[in-house]
Chains A and B, each alone.
Chain A
Amino acid sequence: MEILVKSGSILLPVLYTLTVMSYAGVFFAHRRGPVRWARPALLVTLACHLLAVAARAVVDRACPVSNQAEIFSLIALSTLVMYAILEWRVEKRSSTGVFVLFMAFAAQLVASVLSLDPKFQEGETLPAIPSLHVFAAVIGLSAVAVASAYGLLFLMLYNDLKRGKFGLFYRGMPDLAILSRSNYYSAIFAFGALTLTNAMGMVSLVAGRDYNLPRVVVAAALWALYGVAVFGHGFFRLSGKRLAYITLFGFVLATVVLVIGIVSGGAS
């Protein structure tokens, strides 16, 4: 098990690199051939990462969210899972993979670098509720990142179409409807995870656990913003363009939450 955990921190960035490269091939080479490599690469990386996380959980006998290295690794994994679901259910063309998975690759790279330093491997093993709070927050923040990536891609394609720029980006991207749907579904995912995060946070507060007020306020604002995005688009005809802007602004808020967390003594 220990070997699995240790080899994971070296093997995973390599696998993520290969996956991102395969997806870059799909987008930039603009050919059908690389699609054959991209999906298997995604699935292999996903399987290996799940195995590594499971091994870590077995070794530590706890949810692997106790230090920054583990949290970044979990961000990478949840981004990967979310992209896999969206590609399977919505996009089917693999052409946005390079953009979304690059974030997962960056998170895993940070996780692997941090795991080399024993200082970043230390951390307290949290009880169940705070563990679930951190776990849901990690997934929520990953979903916010994915939603914002799709929001950005939507706006870029929208502007290209408006201005009549029919270059590489126009040819490589799926249609606006798919980008908007991916944007919306990832926003729903983010909203769900943030709701769970905030609920667990409230339970922790009631139990008398320490909290950081600015972070709580920004996190609540982020949750409310995604609520507006999800219900506005789903029930009140909020346009795809506005949804994209909201999710992008949400990413800014999520970054603020993370920064406050790190400054105040831990990503969680």
Chain B
Amino acid sequence: MTEILVLSLNHRVTPIEARERVAFGHDPAIDFLQEIKSELPVDEALLLSTCNRTELYASARALDTQLAVELRQLFERRREFRFSDEPRNYLEATRRDAVQHLFAVAGGLESQILGESQILQQVKEARRWAMEAGTSGHVLSRLGDRALRVGKRIRSETLVGDGALSASTAALELARKIFGSLRGLKVLVIGSGEIAQLALQNLEGQETAEIMIANRTRARAEELALSCSGRVIDMDALGAALTAADVVLSSTAAPEPIVSFDLMRSVRSQRGVNPMLIVDLALPRDFEPACGQLDSVFLKNLDDLQEIVEANRLDREGELPLARAIVSAECETFFDWLHGLSAQPTIVELRQQFEWIRDEEIEEWAAQVDGATRVTLEEFARRLVNRLLHLPSENLKRHTALRDQETRALIHELLTREVPHPNATDESFVEESLLEESLPTESLPTESLPTEPLPKEPLPKEPPAE
């Protein structure tokens, strides 16, 4: 059966300096994948490379420690990196552990920010690279598909990906909690520091009605305004801008509050009943705390946002068992499919035998019937064979006993090879008898099947040897 191995250099075990060296872009990744396929006894290979992890997935018919060693050596030759066991700076997993690892990665469970969703795009990209490199086959392609499915399931069925985990996204979460959405709102950003830039990045695509930027250095405000199609406001006109704004994000480096309670009271009286969210991200604060006492004015500071972030983080962590259960269930489904693959040669051979017999019989009868009857006969025989083979094929795929190599070989032999019958003198007699028996069995309980084959004329020709 096909085995799967993963070699992972990730943020949990690999220091950032090392992760920098092993990160792959598009072209080096394609080259590396092709090199793996050509130099090592692997059937398929897939490379996932993000800022937090570089992971190599390989599938092979025979998995031994030597293959893992050779993979590591190949990796070391490609990148200035040494795998070390003391302390261990990589993760290596095989079979179920490897599959579970990829599913957990796709679900964002192994990410630095629990539940982040960018990883799904990166898994998609890894699949694309493997396809371009020609190293993606049945198994890893399916594995990639299932990983994406797991990622989507975890995000739709659990809250692992819900809730803001940074101050700037928490500010937007607050805005949504008050206004429903940011669509059509006027946003005023005061200051042009890093936090203001982050906030503006998060506002992208939110369909806000207008973004106003106020900053002491006008040139800096204009630069920011260009990046977000915003409008620059003079600090002198701050009162008017506050009156117009629904959401205010403030993060100046001013040593004193820039908005007094009196100014806000006047703004409030001009605005009327419309609610207003002020997120004061500055330290020291830009708004006098008393501003928050005004009706319909929600003034929040960094501590408030931190509380939201912390609650969201706990929420996400609380969902981990549910997400892990999805990973386990999907892992089972994947392995059922993988085990089913091992029955494929038996199924194909069995089908070929049945189809050979079907064609022989049709040929024998064809001379005695007209064209239209022959078409009907062919259709009948085709459907009959399909129906007869459907259940055994499905059972072969599903049967857990097939996970055992010996049982698999035995079943293969029983179903597809000529087995000498104790009472038979002719091998084809046995085969023909078994075929005959298979016809009425669908409606009979297994116990009532005749134990001895019914005598019948042997087939005119032997089936072709496989």
- Which residues of A does B touch, CB under 8 Å? 30-33, 157, 161-162, 164, 166-167, 170-171, 175-178, 237-242
With A164-B304, A171-B315 known to touch, is A239 a contact of B176 (CB < 8 Å)? no
Smallest CB separation, B211 vs chain A (Å):
21
With A161-B298, A171-B315 known to touch, is A31 a contact of B180 (CB < 8 Å)? no
Selected A-B contacts with CB under 8 Å, 19 pairs: A32-B156, A32-B157, A32-B159, A157-B177, A161-B178, A164-B307, A166-B304, A166-B308, A167-B311, A170-B177, A175-B178, A176-B177, A176-B178, A176-B179, A237-B272, A239-B273, A240-B275, A241-B295, A242-B273
With A171-B311, A176-B275 known to touch, is A162 a contact of B298 (CB < 8 Å)? yes
How far, in whole Å, are A171 and B177 apart by their CA atoms in the complex? Answer: 9
- In contact, B311 and A30 (Cβ under 8 angstroms): no
Contacts of A237 in B (CB 8 A): 272-273
- In contact, A178 and B180 (Cβ under 8 angstroms): yes
- List 10 additional contacts besides A164-B303, A171-B315; criterion CB under 8 Å: A31-B319, A32-B159, A161-B177, A164-B300, A166-B304, A166-B307, A176-B179, A239-B296, A240-B273, A240-B275
Smallest CB separation, B156 vs chain A (Å):
7
Contacts of B304 in A (CB 8 A): 164, 166
How far, in whole Å, are A166 and B311 apart by their CA atoms in the complex? Answer: 8
Asked if B158 is an interface residue, CB under 8 A from chain A, the answer is yes
Asked if B453 is an interface residue, CB under 8 A from chain A, the answer is no
Smallest CB separation, B184 vs chain A (Å):
11
CB contacts under 8 Å to A, within B283-317, are: 292, 295-296, 298, 300, 303-304, 307-308, 311, 315
How far, in whole Å, are A256 and B303 apart by their CA atoms in the complex? Answer: 45
In the complex, residue of chain A having the shortest beta-carbon distance to the beta carbon of B307: A166
In the complex, residue of chain A having the shortest beta-carbon distance to the beta carbon of B301: A164
**The one of B156, B273, B298, B307 that contacts A238, using a Cβ cutoff of 8 Å:** B273
How far, in whole Å, are A238 and B274 apart by their CA atoms in the complex? Answer: 10
In the complex, residue of chain A having the shortest beta-carbon distance to the beta carbon of B275: A176
- Which residues of B does A touch, CB under 8 Å? 156-159, 163, 174, 176-180, 272-273, 275, 292, 295-296, 298, 300, 303-304, 307-308, 311, 315, 319, 322
Smallest CB separation, B268 vs chain A (Å):
12
Contacts of B307 in A (CB 8 A): 164, 166
Smallest CB separation, B159 vs chain A (Å):
7
How far, in whole Å, are A164 and B178 apart by their CA atoms in the complex? Answer: 13
- In contact, A175 and B177 (Cβ under 8 angstroms): yes
How far, in whole Å, are A164 and B174 apart by their CA atoms in the complex? Answer: 10
Contacts of B177 in A (CB 8 A): 157, 161, 170, 175-176
Contacts of B272 in A (CB 8 A): 237
Smallest CB separation, B281 vs chain A (Å):
15
Contacts of A242 in B (CB 8 A): 273
Smallest CB separation, B29 vs chain A (Å):
36
- In contact, B159 and A30 (Cβ under 8 angstroms): yes
- In contact, B178 and A31 (Cβ under 8 angstroms): no
Smallest CB separation, B298 vs chain A (Å):
5
Smallest CB separation, A267 vs chain B (Å):
37
Contacts of B295 in A (CB 8 A): 239, 241
Contacts of B308 in A (CB 8 A): 166
How far, in whole Å, are A241 and B273 apart by their CA atoms in the complex? Answer: 9
How far, in whole Å, are A104 and B286 apart by their CA atoms in the complex? Answer: 48
**The one of A30, A162, A238, A241 that contacts B292, using a Cβ cutoff of 8 Å:** A162
How far, in whole Å, are A166 and B322 apart by their CA atoms in the complex? Answer: 24
Contacts of A241 in B (CB 8 A): 295-296
- In contact, A177 and B178 (Cβ under 8 angstroms): yes
How far, in whole Å, are A238 and B272 apart by their CA atoms in the complex? Answer: 9
How far, in whole Å, are A30 and B318 apart by their CA atoms in the complex? Answer: 11
Contacts of B178 in A (CB 8 A): 161, 175-177
Smallest CB separation, A173 vs chain B (Å):
8
Contacts of A238 in B (CB 8 A): 273
Smallest CB separation, A186 vs chain B (Å):
18
Smallest CB separation, A89 vs chain B (Å):
14
In the complex, residue of chain A having the shortest beta-carbon distance to the beta carbon of B176: A175
Smallest CB separation, B273 vs chain A (Å):
4
In the complex, residue of chain A having the shortest beta-carbon distance to the beta carbon of B296: A239
Which of B163, B295, B322 gathers most chain A CB within 10 Å?
B295
How far, in whole Å, are A171 and B272 apart by their CA atoms in the complex? Answer: 28
Smallest CB separation, B247 vs chain A (Å):
13
Smallest CB separation, B318 vs chain A (Å):
9
Smallest CB separation, A47 vs chain B (Å):
28
Contacts of A161 in B (CB 8 A): 174, 177-178, 298
Smallest CB separation, B107 vs chain A (Å):
15
In the complex, residue of chain A having the shortest beta-carbon distance to the beta carbon of B293: A162
Contacts of A178 in B (CB 8 A): 180
How far, in whole Å, are A162 and B177 apart by their CA atoms in the complex? Answer: 12
How far, in whole Å, are A241 and B177 apart by their CA atoms in the complex? Answer: 15
With A161-B298, A237-B272, A238-B273 known to touch, is A175 a contact of B311 (CB < 8 Å)? no
How far, in whole Å, are A162 and B298 apart by their CA atoms in the complex? Answer: 6
Contacts of B275 in A (CB 8 A): 176, 240
In the complex, residue of chain B having the shortest beta-carbon distance to the beta carbon of A236: B273
Contacts of A239 in B (CB 8 A): 273, 295-296
Smallest CB separation, A176 vs chain B (Å):
5
Smallest CB separation, A247 vs chain B (Å):
16
How far, in whole Å, are A167 and B304 apart by their CA atoms in the complex? Answer: 12
Smallest CB separation, B170 vs chain A (Å):
9
How far, in whole Å, are A60 and B275 apart by their CA atoms in the complex? Answer: 52
How far, in whole Å, are A178 and B178 apart by their CA atoms in the complex? Answer: 9
Contacts of B298 in A (CB 8 A): 161-162
Which of B157, B178, B272 gathers most chain A CB within 10 Å?
B178
